[in-house]
Structure 1
C-alpha cells in the first residue's frame, strides 16, 4: 500500500480524488491510501521521511533532496496571484512588525523572509492566521490556500507575495508553491508507475472538473462553496498542474537560486537533476 499525503485544501483533494473514486489505477496494481494534513506538517513529515509520497512546498524540497525525488505532477503555481500579506485597515506596519506565516519551509515564508528580514515571525496553522490578525495577536499574516479568496472585511492586502517574487525574479516566471515528492527507497519501476498514476489522476480530474467538483461538494470534503471552488481550481488545479513545463522548471530553479544566495539552502540546485528518471522505462522495453 502506497501512502500519499496531501493537504486538505481544494486543489490537492481535487487532483488526488480521481484515484479515490476509482477513475484511474496503477498499471502495476499498486494500491493507494491517503492522508490529509496541513502543508507545514507535510513539510516536516517529509523531512522525517514519514510518507511514501507527499505534497510539499517547493521551498522545502532542498531539505529532503537526498531521500525524496521530485515529481513532475500535482503541482500548484501562482501566475499573477498567490499568497497575500494582510493586515487590519488601521494598522501601520513597522520594519519589525509581527507576522504569522504558515510554516518555516513553505515557499511563501521563504520569499517573505527575503523581503522582510526584520519582521518578527510566528508560525501557525494556515487556518489560524486570519483570526490571529483580527484579534491583534500579530500585526499581519500571510494567507494561503482558499483563505486568499474570502477574508474578513476589516482586513486589507498589504502586499502580494507574487509581486515580491516578480521583483526578485525580474521576469514573470510562475511562482512555485506546491509540488510532490516520492521516497527514493521505492523501486524505480514502482516510482515510475506511481508518478504515471498520479499524472493520470490529475489529467482526468482536470478534464472532468464539473463532475468531480460536484462529487467533492456533495461529500462535504471541501471547505469552500461551489463558486469559490471553481475560482480556486482555475488558479491552482488546471492544465498546468498535470506535468511541469519549462517555465515552471525555471521558476523552481529561481526559487532554489534565491534560497542558496540567502544561505537558506546549502547547495545550488537544478530541479531537472532531481526528477525520477523515466527514460529507464523506455530503455527497459527497447
Structure 2
C-alpha cells in the first residue's frame, strides 16, 4: 500500500474538491491518501521545501518549484470578474508608503500587489487575521482572499479589486489564476498520471454531487461558513471550470508567469503546458 500525502488549504473550495476522496467516493487501488489542511502560504513554503507528494499552491509560486513539481490540470481556482480585494477603513486615504497585510509572500495576490504598489510596506499574516488587523489599525489596508471577500466588516471598504489590477497587467480577456495543485516529479510517471486522473475524477464527482457533499461538510463542521455562503463561494472557486484547465485558463497561467518574469520575480519565462504531466504517455505505452 502506497501512502501519498495530499496537502490543501482549509478554505471551502479546497475541502470541497478533496473530500470525495476522504469520504471514499473515489479511490485508487493500493494507495492510501493522507490529507493535510494548512493555510495557503504555509503550503507554498512546504512546496518550496518539497515536503508533500501532492500540494495545493498559489499559481504565482509555481515557477519557483518547477524543477521538483509538475503542475496539475485539476482542482484549480480562477477569478472571472472577481478575486482578492484590497480593503481599508472607510474614508481612509492611503498614502504612498501605506502599510498593508498580505496572506503570504508567494501568493498570486502578493505578486500582483507588489507590481502595482512597489512602495507599500508589506507585512504577512494568516489570511484569517487580515480583516481584524485593518479594523484595529495595525495596518492601513489588507488584501482579503478566500471566503473573506464575501462578507467583511461594515466599517471597511474596497480600495481596489485585484481583478482590476489583473486586467490592467494582463491586457487580455483571461481569467485570474489563483490556486492550483502540483505533484512531485519523483513520483513514477505512470503513478502520477493515475493520481491526476483520480483527483480530476474527485473534483468531477464533487461538482456533480454538490448539494449532498456540501450538506455532509456542513454537518461535520468542516466548513467555516453557512450553507448559503458556501453555495456562493463554490460557484466562484469550485465550479465546472475547476475540474480540468481549459485553453483560456492555461493561457492565463502563462500570462501570469510572463508578467512575473517581466517584472523580475522569476528567473525564466515558462509555459504551463511544458511543465505538466505528459498524459499522452499512458496511451503511447498501451499502444
Q: TM-score, normalised by structure 1?
A: 0.99
Secondary structure, in 3 states, of the residue corresponding to 1:197? helix
Number of the residue aligned with 2:13: 11
Number of the residue aligned with 1:90: 91
C-alpha distance in structure 2 between counterparts of 1:93 and 1:250, whole Å: 34
C-alpha distance in structure 2 between counterparts of 1:283 and 1:3, whole Å: 28
Aligned-pair CA distance for 1:162: 0.2
Aligned-pair CA distance for 1:69: 0.4
Number of the residue aligned with 2:49: 48
Number of the residue aligned with 1:130: 131
C-alpha distance in structure 2 between counterparts of 1:203 and 1:110, whole Å: 30
- 1:264-283 superposed matches below 5 A: 264-283=265-284
Structure 1 unaligned segments of length 5 or more: list them: none
Number of the residue aligned with 2:158: 157
Secondary structure, in 3 states, of the residue corresponding to 1:31? strand
Number of the residue aligned with 1:99: 100
Aligned-pair CA distance for 1:171: 1.8
Q: CA RMSD in A?
A: 0.6
Structure 2 unaligned segments of length 5 or more: list them: none
Aligned-pair CA distance for 1:87: 0.2
C-alpha distance in structure 2 between counterparts of 1:234 and 1:284, whole Å: 38
1:113 matched to 2:142? The reply is no
- 1:107-256 superposed matches below 5 A: 107-256=108-257
C-alpha distance in structure 1 between counterparts of 2:51 and 2:23, whole Å: 25
Aligned-pair CA distance for 1:31: 1.5
Structure 1 runs of 4+ off > 3 angstroms? Answer: none
C-alpha distance in structure 1 between counterparts of 2:23 and 2:80, whole Å: 30
Question: How many residues were matched structurally?
Answer: 285
Aligned-pair CA distance for 1:30: 1.6
User: What CA deviation, in whole Å up to 9, does each residue of 1:53-85 have, x standing for no partner?
Assistant: 000000000110000000000000000000000
Q: TM-score, normalised by structure 2?
A: 0.99
